[in-house]
Structures are given as C-alpha cells and as structure tokens.
Structure 1
C-alpha cells in the first residue's frame, strides 16, 4: 500500500507555534486527512459511508514526533494497513519531509467501524473486508 501518498501538503507559517515549528494540532489534522484517503482505498469511500449509514471512529491514536517541520516544508504521508478485525482496523501513517525524506512523525491508529444510527460498532461489509484485505501490509513491512 506504500506506493502512493495518502496526503501531500505544506506547512504554512500560521501552522507554526511560538518555537517556530509546526504545532501538534496540525500533525493530527494532516494525519486525519490521510485517514480518509486510506479509508477510500480500503473501500470505505464517502459514498459507501453515506449510503450504508456507517462511519469510522478512532479509539486509540499514538503519535511519535521525530523531527521538526518548519514553515514552507513540503509534507508527505504514506499509510499502511496493519490489521483488519471484524469491526476494527489498525493502521500506521508515516509523515516525511518530502524534500529531505526524513521521517517527521509516525502515527498508529485503531479505528472502529460503526453504525451511525445505533452509535455502536458494526462488522465490515464483505466487499470492504475483501478490498481492505488486499491492502494488508506484509509482516516484514510493519
């Protein structure tokens, strides 16, 4: 799944804090945008989520900050599906400075597939499970 970025963007000056680097709230925002691109590749497209009454909710998120990102830096995120359960996904994002290739941050998230009307977890549809299974990272990639 690592072939194409799930997010590309830049760090704007207004996203930087008093120390001069991108504030943590923007890391979370960029990882969130990558989530939705990853979900679409797995079959959890906006039209599927709307028509099925389903949604995704993060239940755990762990971010590791490795390098600063500064105003003007170009950011690229690549994502890997690590695990698919009956009602949940575990995946990892890797945020890099696109110019230097250095890893700026990683984020591992567990997300739950839910029925939006009942506000409870729900099993993935077979078609989604089949599509997502084709994107599982090999154990050596993890």
Structure 2
C-alpha cells in the first residue's frame, strides 16, 4: 500500500450526528485516487484539459469507526485487480492511532474524458497499477452486503418501474454548478450526499419512535455500509428524484435500496444499497429495534427495489 492522503475532518465536514458525513468520506477518497493516478503516470486525469480520466463504475464503502472533527486522519491504498480498461482500488482511511475509520473498494474505468468510452491503459500505466497490487486485511471486508450479487441491468431501473412498485419519493432537486467537477459532471460524493439529505424524509419519525422505546435515548442514524452503482452522470441543471424502498430489517440493522432517477427521461443516474442503524447520540451506540416495530418498515418504505 502507498500513502494517498492526510488531513482531518473539519467541523463543517460533520453533520447533525456529530460525525463526518458520508459524502465527505467519498470526497476524500477521490482526493486519494488523484495521488494513486499520479503514481501510475496519470497525473493529468482530473485536470480540465485531460484527454482521459478515471470514473467509478461501482463502489463499496464500509464505515468502521466514527470520525470526529479536528483529529488526524490518513489514507493508504493499493490495487486489487487490473484489466485492459479498468482497475479495482482498495483504500483505507485510518485514525491517528492506526485504527481503521473506513474501507473503500472502487471499480474505476479508464475513459475518454469527453465521451466516457473506456479504452486501454498505456503499457506504462498498467505496469504501475499492477505493481501496486496488494491484499486488504480481512477485518475490513464487506460484511452486510454481498458484492457477488449482480446489480440490476440499466433497463430494469426506470422511474416507471419504481412508480409501479410504489416506491416513495424521498428526495427531489436540481444539480447546481458547485456540485460538479472540472468536466461539468456531478462529483461522485454528491450522489451519496443527496441520499444522505433525503433519508430523514423517510425514517425520521420511525427512528424517533425506536429511540423513545427506552427513556433517555437521543435519536440519530448512521450508515455502516454502502454499495453504489454509478450509471449516468448528471450535469449542472439536470434534475434528480430519489425513490427508496426497504431492503431488509433486523433487530440492530436495516437496509434501504435507493434509486436516483432523471424525472424527465425516467433513466437512472445511480442505484445504491445502504446498511444503517438507529443510533443513540448520547452513548454513541446502536439502538435495537423493538420487535413490534420491525414490520412497520415494509409499510414505510414499500417498493421492493433492487440494486
């Protein structure tokens, strides 16, 4: 593994839960990918005049230990796989004491910066990527999501299907210029950021009642794991609609499947599945769901959407 990033979480990187927001993890991970690209003779990849760039096709994140503002953070990474036009990169965000804050597995494509059509690495870049091959620790492996499951085909993810299944709209908006990268496309971290902003519209009341089952608990929510399929890239002025449904519910965890859609064309921007918990903000511990409330989530989040 090589060093990819060092810094902190600023106060403004943290949300109402008192820890770093999920979007900031991905934002810092992509800063780290810039250094990995530079180590593989691709330092041009994220510049405005780049002929080629790197885009994520899929990403898995496991959030392991909370990040609070002002404390030291660092990131290391390696490659797990390299093929003709892509690579899977592993990144590990660490606290100052060496404990792992989060682990990322990202499938990157080497593409034309304008058309986004994949094309082969140069021999020099591929050799450098292969030289960075390593094995991640077993302790950071995916835990609540099965990465071997094949995501839905793009034609199976449409607004019409989501509406027909009764999946609720939990987020709605337009992509502002400030959310876009140097190519004019929405930054990867803003996909999960928009979902983070939308989930309270679905779960706030339910989580409040889960927390109130035991006096003295203060309700919050936290994501433990996320798998994201990046399907299309909105630009400034494009509209989005987020529809979500229940994946599964257990005593301590629940999962939601999210579809971010273009409400004009009905086509998907992205799909994701998140494993989350109801969280006691005072004790910083998971709040178990009372048995009588577990079945409620199927009514609150109908639709049976799939990743």
3-state secondary structure, aligned to 2:185: coil
**One of 91, 94, 99 as aligned partner of 2:256:** 91
Partner of 1:44: 207
- Contact in 1 for aligned 2:211/2:278 (Cα 8 Å): no
| 1:113 to partner: Cα distance | 1.9
- Unpaired stretches in structure 1, ≥5 consecutive residues: none
Tell me how far apart the structure 2 counterparts of residues 87 and 138 of structure 1 sit (CA, whole Å): 22
Backbone CA RMSD of aligned residues: 2.5
* More displaced 10-residue stretch of structure 1: 1-10 or 28-37: 1-10
TM-score (norm 2): 0.41
**One of 162, 183, 198 as aligned partner of 1:19:** 183
Tell me how far apart the structure 1 counterparts of residues 176 and 293 of structure 2 sit (CA, whole Å): 36
**Structure 2 CA distance for partners of 1:2 and 1:44, relative to 1, 3 Å:** farther
- Contact in 2 for aligned 1:31/1:107 (Cα 8 Å): no
When Rg is computed on C-alpha atoms for both structures, the one with the higher figure is: 2
Partner of 1:117: 282
Tell me how far apart the structure 1 counterparts of residues 236 and 257 of structure 2 sit (CA, whole Å): 25
Counterparts of 1:1-142 in structure 2, within 5 Å, are 2-40=166-204, 43-45=206-208, 52-125=217-290, 128-135=293-300, 137=302, 141-142=305-306
- Unpaired stretches in structure 2, ≥5 consecutive residues: 1-164
| 1:135 to partner: Cα distance | 3.7
* More displaced 10-residue stretch of structure 1: 66-75 or 110-119: 110-119
Higher relative contact order (CA 8 A, sep 6+): 1
Aligned residues: 139
